[in-house]
Amino acid sequence: MSDFNSMDREYKKNQLRRRIISAGDARGPVDFAAQPDEDEEELRLARRRSRRRRTIVLTVLLCLIAAALGAVYWYLRYYQMTAATVVWERQMEQTEGTFTAYASFGDNVLKYTRDGASYIDSSGKDIWIQSYEMNAPMVAVSGDYAAIADRQGNTIYICDTTGCLGIATTIMPISRVTISSKGMVAAVVEDQSASYVYYYQKDGTEMKIYIRGFLKAEDTSDEWGVGYVLDAALSPNGNILMGAYYYIQGGALRNRVAFYNFSEVGKNVENRMVGGFHDIYEDSMIAKVACLNDTYAVAFADNSLSFYSLRDEMSPAMVRLIPVEEEIRSIFYNENYVGIIVSDVSGENDYRMDVYEDDGTKAFSVPFDYEYMHASVEDDMIFLYNEDSCRVYNRYGNLKYEGTFAFTLSKVTKGRLPNQIIVTGPQIMQELILH
């Protein structure tokens, strides 16, 4: 038995030797010490290939994103839309011969007539309706607040996007009204010898603060108490009132711009006046003033635009005076842009539109021949329109859309999306998507 076991062990040894030799012949000598280096090199190559693949994928993605952004930029800046599809339509009630007007309010539209007002949402539905009786309603809007006043009357309705908040009543006839984005109202009233600016809280309560100005310099010893108010504007925060005045001095008609501070620090200043400018307007007539935002304001004269900084509320300063040699036909503005349309004296076109940023920096200038009747700006969309057609420009001065309508246009405003507009007439309102 032992011999048999010995033979079996010897046989197995010989088989093992033959397998080792065969493996060595096929692969050569096995260098077990070199095997780890080969594995590490293979791992490094795999990592390089993986990094290259990731780099290629990332580069392709970045190129696709850049191409997409470039396409969007080109579309927003240059692409001109030629068609419009009606998203919704609403029939408006209109009595023949009745006055109806519209104003952009909040994110939607305010409709006002002699008999009442309604706030219409972006789908054409009435959010609220307020009835009243006015002979000549006029509207001032700032953010989510609106003041509806009866010109040469004595009533002001103060509203926000939820409805009427209060009613203010004046003793003297109202000639102008302005409102802040917090709901404070300033009303310009006048009699035969002087004009006054009275202040009201959003519930209609009088604030017992007023400014008085005399038409003739001889009627007062206060140099800055001279002047009838041509126009007035409140800053959105309600701290600053900007006024345009005219007065008679030495038999000559003169103009000036004045600033009043109605914050807590302003009450420490006599008459609350913190700035006045008159020398630059000796040969001008100021027709309109506007506080664009809490930082900048503008005065529109018949031959110039003057931009003011309100950063220092105790000392407003002029930052830019822009002479205008041509006849100014229209003005428009919002919190970011100021625009004028002038007659084009070059003879190549009928008109020229000049648009400026809030600090007076020119954004663009574009000539055109379109016979418009109204001009307005909302966000970065500029609307020119007449009774049966409209044009839409972007903030670069490029024409984005031009179209005609089968009904009379009263107002064109922005829609819910950048490529949507709302067109309103006496008897119809539509939201259009432009494409």
If pLDDT is split at 50, 70 and 90, which confidence band does 4 have?
Answer: very low
Mean pLDDT of the chain: 86
Least confident residue range of 57-66, 92-101, 136-145, 295-304: 92-101
**Residue 227, CA distances (Å) to 261, 311, 413 in order:** 18, 26, 36
The distance between the two most distant Cα atoms of the chain, rounded to a whole number of Å, is 148
Mean pLDDT of the 20-31 span: 50
**Residue 233, CA distances (Å) to 123, 158, 229, 379 in order:** 31, 16, 11, 20
DSSP string, 24-43: HHHH-S--TTTHHHHHHHHH
**417 against 24, higher pLDDT:** 417
Mean pLDDT of the 184-196 span: 89
Q: Taking 70 as the threshold, does the pLDDT of residue 13 lie above it?
A: no
Contacts of 285 (CB under 8 A, 6+ apart): 246, 255, 301, 302
The pLDDT of residue 7 is 52
The pLDDT of residue 19 is 56
Model pLDDT for residues 232-268, shown as the tens digit of each residue: 999 999 999 999 988 777 777 888 899 999 888 888 8
SS (H, E, C) 254-310: EEEEEEEECCCHHHHCHHHEEEEECHHHCCCCEEEEEECCCCEEEEEECCEEEEEEC
For residues 206 and 210, what is the distance between their CA atoms, to the nearest angstrom? 10
Structure tokens at 430: 């539509």
For the chain, the helix, strand and coil percentages under 3-state DSSP, each to the nearest 5: 20, 50, 35
The pLDDT of residue 40 is 76
Residue with token string 């203010």: 168
Domain boundaries, the chain: 132-323
Query: Within 10 Å of residue 276's Cβ, how many Cβ atoms?
Result: 16
**CATH number listed for the domain at residues 132-323:** 2.120.10.30
For residues 256 and 231, what is the distance between their CA atoms, to the nearest angstrom? 11
Mean pLDDT of the 49-59 span: 84
Q: Round the CA-based radius of gyration of the chain to a whole number and report it.
A: 37
Closest CA to 243 of 228, 231, 255: 231
The pLDDT of residue 32 is 46
**Phi and psi, residue 44, nearest 5°:** -65, -40
If pLDDT is split at 50, 70 and 90, which confidence band does 433 have?
Answer: very high
pLDDT above 70 as % of the chain: 87
Closest CA to 375 of 428, 339, 326: 339
Q: Taking 70 as the threshold, does the pLDDT of residue 298 lie above it?
A: yes
Least confident residue range of 105-114, 342-351, 370-379: 342-351
Residue with token string 């005065």: 299
For residues 211 and 234, what is the distance between their CA atoms, to the nearest angstrom? 14
Least confident residue range of 38-42, 114-118, 139-143: 38-42
Contacts of 217 (CB under 8 A, 6+ apart): 226, 247, 248, 249, 250
Contacts of 402 (CB under 8 A, 6+ apart): 80, 370, 389, 390, 391, 392
Q: Taking 90 as the threshold, does the pLDDT of residue 106 lie above it?
A: no
**Residue 311, CA distances (Å) to 19, 237, 271, 315, 380 in order:** 94, 12, 20, 8, 24
